[in-house]
Structure 1
Amino acid sequence: MRGSSRVGLLGVAVIIAAAGCGTITPGAPLTQDLSPPRVVHPKAEVPKDRDERAVMVALRQVDACALLDPAAAGSLGFTSKVKPWAQGPHRCMITKKKGDDEVTVRAGDKIDHARKYDDALLTLSGAKAYRNTDATGDVCTVNVPVSFDVVVEFQARKGSKSTSDDRCTLAETFAAAGMAKLANQDTVRTAAPLSAWDPCALLNATFGTELDRFASRLDSRSYGIDGCQSGRKRTDGSPASAEYELLLHYQSDPAAAPDVKIKAIGDRHVDVRDASDASGGCVAKWSAGPSGSQYPNLTDAVIEMRAPDCAKAETSAATVVELLKTTPQPGPVQRPLLYKAEEPDEAIPGACVHMRTYGPGSCEPYHEVTLPAEAKDVLKMSTADPNVGCAVGLEAVRRHFGPRMLPVTGARSCQFVEPEHAVEVEVTVSADSDPNRDAGAPEVTNRRAVTVAGRPGLLFDQRSPATGIVDHRLSVSAGPGPGSGAVQVSLRQFPQRGSVGDLDVETRKLHLLEPMLAEILTKYFA
């Protein structure tokens, strides 16, 4: 099933731990120090993001309505008589008839790692895209990345008189056709009213010398690059709050509304009033002229400026009125806009992009290492290099969980991840654990004794207090005697990325833990 809501149910980790010596004597504990200096491998290259302003300039030039081609959806009932209509300078909508499903395109929405991780990964018109749907299937969204955190969004939404039961086919069809046009972005250049500027550029130009104190961000609601919020900078450079907001949209002339409070600002008639919603502040709103939209009620190109008070709203509006008479300073244009199917689109190295959570420096792709022949040397090596866990587990994990399992390392462990994001297998080889280390924790349930490859051990569930994710752990001794360390295997599974709902019972893989662990024990710790 397509979708975006993914409920984690299971998870996999293998920890091989030993405490003690450099030789393994049957029945005897390890006693020597197994803590050599940590091995440092060359860091994997982290992909670099595109220039933010070059991306914004490129998006400003895109005609959103040209991306909604009814001819591409002929099999879905669209004809050449159906015309898209602009909702703003860089937003557009198309529908077969009033009340039927609507397809919208919006340039400049935001996306993050969590969204990409959960969404189905697509290749449309040779380029990368992500798809998600809500639990009801009424809304399906295809996000097309143009930078690491900015997308062009195609969205299909069920209408009150819907003639279809598949919003995702609708969204993907229009997205594929639009992406084919974006691949040659100069063929979809816009001259729509207000399209020369984006609100963030306008706010930045408005604040001028105050830019060292203010930061701007794309509007977090439904405007894409047609909306921007600005506030005083946090220490990380982001805006602490939306003190100012600037929106560009197509609607009726604000001056024609009832109870307007018109002020002449520059050569514009501006409605200035206290904001009526919970955000507070004061809003200045005016028309810049005809919108050119095909929709009858969206007659005017309207600017809406929100400020902390009406004096600041009027001052800011006056600056924006004059700026809109000018052309923005020319700058570089991002080319190409689209990402190839295999091209990195996150600042995450290699297979670490398939980690559910990621922080800078928290994950490295596997650096291949050669394992020594003796178990004691494998254990000793493991304390200095988490890549040993990858080498120990590589064959067994792939044999039991599939060839697409990809090894990555954290501070002390190796975790196997996959592009489908349905299974995670972690392998840790360390010198400070035993089979009972975690089994007594308060979050542990379903504890029972097992025997694997002739060695006694424990099988138990452990739920993370932070995430609620359950790891199903299987832990046995690394050697034949007390104090010889532990090998721990735990399984974590999720519904496949892009799906909605819980994990199907028949897809669960708990039964693979014991044979995988037995294989590791037999090969490396006999």
Structure 2
Amino acid sequence: MILGAVIASLLAACADSVDTPPPRPQFPKWHPKQQRPADRDEQVVDAALAAFDFCRLIDQAAYDRRKGGDTRPVTREPEVKDGKKWCTLYRDGYEDLVYVHDVDPSHAWLRNDGTVVDLAGVKAYQVETRRDGGVSGCAITVPVSFQRAVKFELGMSRSKDCELLRDFATAGAAKLPRDLVYPPDGQDNGRVGACANWVSTTKGENCDPAVEAQVPTGAELILAAGAADPNVECAVFRDAVQKTFGPEFEPIATPGSCYFVEPRHRLQIEAGATANGGAPGEWLADPNKTYKDHHQTRFSGNPGVTFRSTDDREFSLYVSPLGNLDSPGHVRLKIAPQQERGIDDWDRFKTVSTVDVARAHAVMELVMATHFRMAR
């Protein structure tokens, strides 16, 4: 009876060990460590804009250069909309040609979508809107703090030529107080270094340019190090991404992910090697059918899965360096085309190209061969 009790106890213990998975390791949350740039005093900027005559920013000489043979009279009319100053250049009292206004702080992050332009020594951002095969709009924003800006736009009655607007914006920016504008390479936002190229609506407070980090030897150690520090994740992928996609892709560290970003915003890459993440098999099973085109494959002997978002705007690869798709932790790569900086193209639907899919496969193969050659 005693022997039977011992055997029963051992069997129960074995059953518990099989049915109860080991707890996942816990790692402290990583936070950016680099010093954030300081913004200008909000009250000083607000007072300067409140005292400034916005109609001075619409230059009569710029209009005279562009009016051609039209002799109809023009007027500059100030107004206040939602507490913000505006001024509009009208012809014949009704035809709006150009307007300039104080941009609400809630739109400050939008400047990250614009192409940086030099208005005769003043930093600005330009966005051209394209629709139905043509240019339907242009806007030029001149930052005066991290949160505030002065925006120049063409009225509905004018051609949407960015070159035309650039003439007005250059003349107008020259009239802004010098202590309000930034030089072409000035720090006009809270993003540090390559974080300025991250396609994100954040202010950059959770992003650091990646720093060099040592990649440990062994899959378990790499996944643990990656879970604790995204700089390690960037180090795992840096050489492979830059060799395959190009040296213009720079790594940035964010909590839980490494991103590779480039100045033109045409493509953004997310990379990770972490013990915190789920097992690759979870994405293969995809019980909620969130993705499509699931394929099980191998990279340098390691089992993995690839899939697309249902709108074809993202392609992902998840690989298990532990030899089992159902083991927690993974190595991942995601690629997603973005709206090109300075171009708001309504006619072009951004989808992952066949070429970039092939490059993503090449990156993962190189990463696994370099750091995870010995599959478990």
1:172 and 2:166 are equivalent in the alignment:
yes
Q: Confirm or deny: 8 A CA contact 2:29 2:255 kept in the other structure.
A: no
Whether contact under 8 Å (2:260, 2:270) holds in the other structure is: yes
* Identity across the alignment (%): 28
Are the aligned partners of 1:93 and 1:102 in contact in 2 as well (CA < 8 Å)?
yes
Q: Which has the higher contact order (CA 8 A, sep 6+)?
A: 1
Aligned pair count reads 337
Q: 2:182, 2:291 → 1: CA distance?
A: 44
Residue 138 of structure 2 is aligned to residue 140 of structure 1: yes
Q: What is aligned with 1:415?
A: 259
Seen in structure 2, the aligned counterparts of structure 1 residues 101 and 395 have a Cα distance that, compared at 3 Å, is farther
Q: By how many angstroms is 1:140 displaced?
A: 2.1
Q: Report deviation, 1:125.
A: 1.8
**Residues 333-375 of structure 1, C-alpha deviations (whole Å, 9 max, x = no match):** xx51112223232334443342413267533332321223555
Which structure features the higher share of helix residues?
2
Q: Residue 234 of structure 2 aligns to a residue in which SS?
A: helix
Alpha-carbon displacement from aligned partner over 1:249-290 (angstroms, at most 9, x marks no partner): xxxxxxxxxxxxxxxxxxxxxxxxxxxxxxxxxxxxxxxxxx
Cα-to-partner distance string for 1:135-186 (whole Å, 9 max, x where unaligned): 5444322111111222112110231xx5x4x43222211101211232xx3x
- Please give the per-residue CA displacement for 1:196-225, whole angstroms capped at 9, x wherever unaligned: xxxxxxxxxxxxxxxxxxxxxxxxxxxxxx
Residue among 116, 119, 122 paired with 1:121: 116
Look up the match of 2:367.
Answer: 520
1:65 aligns to 2:63 (yes or no): no
Answer yes or no: is the 8 Å Cα contact 1:415–1:426 preserved in 2.
yes
Task: Name the structure 2 match of 1:457.
Answer: 304
Q: Residues 104 and 414 (structure 1 numbering): CA distance in 2 closer, same or farther, change over 3 Å?
A: same
Greater alpha carbon shift after TM alignment, 356-365 vs 514-523: 356-365
Q: Mapping of 1:82-481 within 5 angstroms?
A: 85-88=75-78, 91-94=86-89, 102-107=97-102, 109-110=104-105, 112-136=107-131, 137-159=135-157, 162=158, 164=159, 166-182=160-176, 185=177, 336-353=179-196, 354-358=198-202, 361-432=205-276, 433-441=278-286, 442=288, 443-462=290-309, 470-480=313-323
Contact map agreement 1:34 1:380 (CA 8 A) in 2: no
TM superposition shift of 1:444: 1.9
Cα displacement (A) at 1:122: 2.4
2:314 aligns to what SS in structure 1?
A: strand
Q: 1:39, CA displacement in angstroms?
A: 8.7
CA distance in 1 between partners of 2:146 and 2:42 (Å): 10
Is the Cα–Cα contact under 8 Å of residues 70 and 80 in structure 1 kept in the other structure? no
* Cα displacement (A) at 1:378: 2.7
Return closer, same or farther for 1:140/1:490 CA change in 2, 3 Å cut-off.
same
Q: Which sections of structure 2, spanning at least 5 residues, go unmatched?
A: 1-20, 80-84
Aligned pair in 2 of structure 1 residues 102, 397: CA closer, same or farther (>3 Å)? same
CA spacing shift, 1:42–1:398, aligned 2, 3 Å: same
Matched letter for residue 423 of structure 1: L
Answer with 1 or 2: which has the greater Rg. 1
Q: Quick one: which amino acid aligns to residue 341 of structure 1?
A: P
Q: Deviations over 1:431-465 (max 9, x none)?
A: 244321223331121212334334443211246xx
- Contact (CA 8 Å) 1:34, 1:379: kept in 2 or not? no
- Structure 1 Cα separation of the partners of residues 328 and 50 of structure 2: 64
Root mean square deviation, CA, Å? 3.5
TM-score by length of 1: 0.56
- CA shift, 1:86, in A, is 3.1
From 11, 33, 54, the equivalent of 1:43 is 33
Counterpart CA distance in 1 for 2:353 and 2:180 is 38
**Deviation per residue, 1:458-482 (Å, 9 max, x gap):** 211246xxxx894311222214466
Aligned counterpart, 1:55: 45
Structure 1's unaligned 5+ residue stretches are 1-30, 186-334
